[in-house]
Structure 1
């Protein structure tokens, strides 16, 4: 079997058998496409010819060159490679898993970047207005902060996913469903958008069940959602970097700082493991330590 045929088979497997999202499959395709190209350039054209040394050299190549990948990107790419090789072994295409002993580079312990409640309020206030885009932007940002949704989850929402009793149905990685409360501010912003803006936006394009629409009436893209967040941050004159995940990080951090149980936050965020959520407890601990150092007379 040729490498490209093996890769195509693996992508079909993760799409159909594992039910991974289009975004995740696309990431696998990009990472493994880079891997297959590198192998081809080095004279390896069949899965059975790959050795552990090839994988080690490929990983080293990712961190070298004119534009080296960050350690996190190298680790993600290696994870994709290991998944491919497990598939090849399971399918009987190869006799051994040559990637099983490959180790990713050590990642620095980076805490999620959250902004303060005051900065969140300023960001949300920057979407005030009666214009159609502002009504939509207000609903989008209020929902992101109220639910901790990923940007991709928010733009994938349909109107029917906003349930009558003030909750929203989100579909996370692998289409795993979770139901999250909306809160009064987000509910009011979404109601205003649905009544005053969405019907007019919808009339500009093809019929779609999407909740958030662009100016031409089609489903809002992740890229446009990111531009909306960045534009609101500029209008709010925030002196911090705002990323697509900023409101999600802030949602988790503010809940934990307010006394929420970490397992509740885990469920709200849709994390499969509480260990992923616990990184936010480091953020709140750092905040408490800073406040203690500043306020306690014998702290310094």
Structure 2
């Protein structure tokens, strides 16, 4: 009952169907065993503690975040007098190191797509675009022909239903143009072949398969992290990075920047060691 009403509230806020579905999935397990109007701080802490024994810290944190939004809404609606989440500490998520690709690995990955068949042309275009622009999995899969500008730009429909415009580099632009010259279907999807477009699941499997062919484990998110790492290694600013990556502030850019930060700092020092410049 309350979950259904909360969903209507989220729809009224014009949140994406994907966000609303995720919210339902994270809230439903708690609401199956707890009356939200009677739930206490201890109830929530015990439930989160049990969850932490069988799930990753990031899952516990996400569950806490969705519960916080739900109980905040209940309090604003007047259904509860005290919001129990106010005094529940935010779960700690230990920093995890997501491996980024080296230049050798990037070359090996793209080399798996050197054939001139349709799959190779398409896959190489996808991989270069994701590495060059740092697109999310869902953003890449949803690209259409209309999103491609004549000036080499791409219009991205990103998280939070926000649009942003990015520009292709020479390498990704060349790979994409080779795919477009081969592509002959009328489907709107940028990655459509004879059997239709490419789903996020299909895209994920393709990336994993190409990684295996290149000799290493690969996930879509590694491509995004590799983009961030290469951007910072080449002295790109965090402000520009946030805009290109679709973040509303530089806070997320800072979080991503923590990965391989020490290694980048050592490399930078070799280049600009102060005494070597005297």
TM-score scaled by length of structure 1: 0.84
Unaligned runs of 5+ in 1: 203-207
The equivalent of 2:276 in structure 1 is none
The equivalent of 1:205 in structure 2 is none
Q: 1:23 to 1:69 in 2, by over 3 A?
A: same
What is the SS of the residue equivalent to 2:80?
Answer: coil
C-alpha contact 2:64 2:90 (8 A) present in aligned 1: yes
- What root-mean-square deviation, in Å, do the aligned CA atoms of Structure 1 and Structure 2 show? 2.2
Query: Is 1:220 aligned to 2:181, yes or no?
Result: no
Write the mapping of 1:203-282 to structure 2, written as runs, cut at 5 A: 208-213=187-192, 216-217=195-196, 219-238=197-216, 241-282=217-258
C-alpha contact 2:71 2:84 (8 A) present in aligned 1: yes
Q: Deviations over 1:94-120 (max 9, x none)?
A: 222122211232111224421112211
Write the mapping of 1:165-204 to structure 2, written as runs, cut at 5 A: 165-197=151-183, 199-200=184-185, 202=186
Q: 1:172 to 1:192 in 2, by over 3 A?
A: same
Following the alignment from structure 1 to structure 2, what is the Cα–Cα distance between the partners of residues 292 and 48? 55
Query: Is 1:115 aligned to 2:101, yes or no?
Result: yes
> Of the candidates 3, 7, 10, which is equivalent to residue 7 of structure 1?
3
Following the alignment from structure 2 to structure 1, what is the Cα–Cα distance between the partners of residues 238 and 219? 23
The equivalent of 2:48 in structure 1 is 59
Q: What's the offset of the Cα at 1:34?
A: 1.2
C-alpha contact 1:114 1:246 (8 A) present in aligned 2: yes
The equivalent of 1:141 in structure 2 is 127
C-alpha contact 2:134 2:224 (8 A) present in aligned 1: yes
C-alpha contact 2:145 2:190 (8 A) present in aligned 1: yes
What is the SS of the residue equivalent to 1:48?
Answer: coil
Write the mapping of 1:40-55 to structure 2, written as runs, cut at 5 A: 44=35, 47-55=36-44
> Of the candidates 16, 21, 26, which is equivalent to residue 26 of structure 1?
21
Q: What's the offset of the Cα at 1:259?
A: 1.0
Following the alignment from structure 1 to structure 2, what is the Cα–Cα distance between the partners of residues 281 and 231? 27
The alignment covers a number of residue pairs equal to 272
Q: What's the offset of the Cα at 1:209?
A: 2.0
The equivalent of 2:112 in structure 1 is 126
Q: What's the offset of the Cα at 1:225?
A: 0.6
What is the SS of the residue equivalent to 1:99?
Answer: helix
Following the alignment from structure 2 to structure 1, what is the Cα–Cα distance between the partners of residues 67 and 193? 37
What is the SS of the residue equivalent to 2:164?
Answer: strand
The equivalent of 1:17 in structure 2 is 12
Query: Is 1:287 aligned to 2:273, yes or no?
Result: no
